[in-house]
Structure 1
Amino acid sequence: MDVILLERIARLGGLGDTVRVRDGYARNYLLPTGRALRANEANQAKFEAQKAQLVARNEERKGEASQIGETLDGKTFVIVRSAGETGQLYGSVSARDISDLLKAEGYSVSRNAVELNQPIKSIGLHKVTIALHAEVSIEITANVARSQDEAERQAQGETLTSADAIYGYDEDALRAEDLGGAMFDEDEGEEPRREEAPQIGEEE
């Protein structure tokens, strides 16, 4: 479908541009949110008549987005999910999940503003870009953990998929213990030597 953009949209075009987009994207997002008009002579004339107002509205939205961005940029949000010992989630965290979380925290952020190339499928600290406006993008951190306690430990730099976190022991200590169990000749690097027991009838 060809549409006339009523504001600048990242990776698509600027205000007043006529671009071709997928029908679903136009019907489900661009048209109902007032970001575009169907491209035809009547709407082109309508756009030209309202162009000054549209430019002013775009600047106003940009200013609002900048204000939200100043309070949101760099913040960390905890998302508690069930996961296995290796940190793989039993499910995933989607752009909609992050949008719903931000809305619950008082930030009006649509799902389309959350730039997540693929759902988050593991625990950890994940950087997520939020496009509040075509010219205003900020970054938040999604702290995905199995509990609030684990989220706090992750925030302090702990890796919760290590053997120590899972089983309660230190991988480095165990490795050192295993290596210390074998005696090597320091000069030759040979295998451990075993003394043979004296044979019957042989003098010791």
Structure 2
Amino acid sequence: MEVILLERIARLGGLGETVRVRDGFARNYLLPTGRALRANDANRAKFESQKAQLVARNEERRTEAQGVADQLNGLRLVIVRSAGETGQLYGSVSARDIADILKEQGYQVNRNSVELNVPIKAIGIHTVKLALHAEVQVSIEVNVARSQDEAERQARGETLNSADAIYGANEDEIVPGGGEFFEEGGEEDEDRA
């Protein structure tokens, strides 16, 4: 189906372009959301008469998105989640989680703006892109950790091994594994068997 785009859409086209898209994409997304019109003579005439208003509205949205992007530039989020010894999260951090945290902090970001192809499933510092407008993108850092203290240590660049994160930096207090160390072939092996 051919449609006339009423705004710039990434990887598809710019304002006023006539593009060919799949029928389902046009019927289910572009037409109902007001992002496009069917490409026919009547709609072309309608677009030409409203072109100045559409360009002004697009510029206004881009300016608003740029303002939010300027505020978000360099932002570091800290997300505390439960994780195992290897750093694997019990669950994940999704685009919805990031959008909700940004909204709590007062930023106008919706879930669809967070470009996260796969959910975050491990602790660490992750770079996440936000597409606030087709022409405005910004990257933020998301620091996923088991505790606020661990997040601060990750932010300083300290390398954390799993034992440090669970037992503390002083290994003399608790020894991971908690048992005696047996060498192969020694008397201890015979006693253990």
TM-score, normalised by the number of residues in structure 1: 0.73
State how far apart, in whole Å, the 2-side matches of 1:61 and 1:79 are.
Answer: 29
Is the contact made by 1:3 and 1:21 (CA closer than 8 Å) also made in structure 2? no
Other-structure match for 1:45 = 45
Other-structure match for 1:76 = 76
| Shift in alpha-carbon separation, 1:15–1:160, aligned structure 2, 3 A | same
Aligned residues with identical type, % of pairs: 72
After TM superposition, give the deviation of residue 139 of structure 1 in Å: 0.6
State how far apart, in whole Å, the 2-side matches of 1:58 and 1:107 are.
Answer: 20
After TM superposition, give the deviation of residue 5 of structure 1 in Å: 1.6
After TM superposition, give the deviation of residue 24 of structure 1 in Å: 5.6
After TM superposition, give the deviation of residue 43 of structure 1 in Å: 3.1
Determine which structure has more spread, i.e. the larger CA radius of gyration.
Answer: 1
SS at match of 1:121: strand
Is the contact made by 2:81 and 2:145 (CA closer than 8 Å) also made in structure 1? yes
Gaps of 5+ in 2: 172-193
Is the contact made by 1:123 and 1:145 (CA closer than 8 Å) also made in structure 2? yes
Gaps of 5+ in 1: 172-204
| Shift in alpha-carbon separation, 1:55–1:85, aligned structure 2, 3 A | same
| Aligned residue-pair number | 170
| Shift in alpha-carbon separation, 1:21–1:121, aligned structure 2, 3 A | farther
Is the contact made by 1:160 and 1:166 (CA closer than 8 Å) also made in structure 2? no
Is the contact made by 1:130 and 1:137 (CA closer than 8 Å) also made in structure 2? yes
Is the contact made by 2:65 and 2:136 (CA closer than 8 Å) also made in structure 1? yes
| Shift in alpha-carbon separation, 1:165–1:8, aligned structure 2, 3 A | same
Deviations 1:30-75 (A, max 9, x none): 4454323344444333222211111111111111111111111110
Is the contact made by 2:85 and 2:163 (CA closer than 8 Å) also made in structure 1? no
State how far apart, in whole Å, the 2-side matches of 1:168 and 1:115 are.
Answer: 35
- Report 1:97-176 matches (<5 A): 97-168=97-168
| Shift in alpha-carbon separation, 1:70–1:18, aligned structure 2, 3 A | same
Is the contact made by 2:6 and 2:16 (CA closer than 8 Å) also made in structure 1? yes
SS at match of 2:131: strand
- Report 1:160-199 matches (<5 A): 160-168=160-168
Is the contact made by 1:128 and 1:141 (CA closer than 8 Å) also made in structure 2? yes
Amino acid at match of 1:43: N
Is the contact made by 1:87 and 1:160 (CA closer than 8 Å) also made in structure 2? no
Is the contact made by 1:163 and 1:170 (CA closer than 8 Å) also made in structure 2? no
Determine if the alignment matches structure 1 residue 8 to structure 2 residue 8. yes
After TM superposition, give the deviation of residue 130 of structure 1 in Å: 0.6
State how far apart, in whole Å, the 1-side matches of 2:69 and 2:87 are.
Answer: 31
Other-structure match for 1:87 = 87
Is the contact made by 2:85 and 2:162 (CA closer than 8 Å) also made in structure 1? no
| Shift in alpha-carbon separation, 1:27–1:134, aligned structure 2, 3 A | same
